[in-house]
Amino acid sequence: ALVVSSQRITAESAREEVREIVLEVDHADLAYQPGQSIGVIVPGDNEFGNTHHFRLYSVADVASSHAGRPRVSICVRRCNYVDDYSGEAYHGVASNFLCDLRQGDPVTINGPFGIPFEVPAEHDANLILIGMGTGIAPFRALVKHIYQDVEDWRGKVWLFYGARSGLDLLYMNDERDDFSQYYDKQTFAAFKALSPRPHWDEPFAMDQALEQRSTDILTLLEKPRTYIYVAGRQPILDGLDRSFARIFGSAEAWARRKAELEAGQRWVELIY
4-41 tens-digit pLDDT? 999 998 878 777 888 999 999 998 889 998 888 999 99
43 CB neighbour count, 10 Å cutoff: 13
Provide mean pLDDT across the span 197-217.
Answer: 73
**b (16+ CB within 10 A) / e for 136-163:** bbbbbbbbbbbeeeeeebebbbbbbbbb
Would you state the pLDDT for residue 201?
Answer: 46
What pLDDT is recorded for position 262?
Answer: 94
pLDDT at 147 over 80: yes
CA 168 to CA 113: how far, in whole Å? 28
- Using a 10 angstrom Cβ sphere, with 0-12 exposed, 13-18 middle and 19 or more buried, the burial of residue 29 is exposed
The whole-number pLDDT of residue 226 equals 96
Distance (Å, whole) CA 176 – CA 174: 6
**Are 251 and 245 spatial neighbours (Cβ–Cβ below 8 Å)?**
yes
Residues 6 or more apart from 57 whose CB is under 8 A from it? 37, 38, 40, 74, 75, 76, 137
Residue 224 is predicted with a pLDDT of 92
Q: Are 75 and 134 in contact (CB under 8 A)?
A: yes
pTM of the complete model beyond 0.75: yes
* CA–CA separation, 97 and 6 (whole Å): 12
Report the run of H or E that residue 3 belongs to, with start and end.
Answer: strand 2-8
> Could you tell me what percent of the chain has a pLDDT over 90?
45
Q: What is the mean pLDDT of the chain?
A: 85
State yes or no: pLDDT of 166 exceeds 60: no
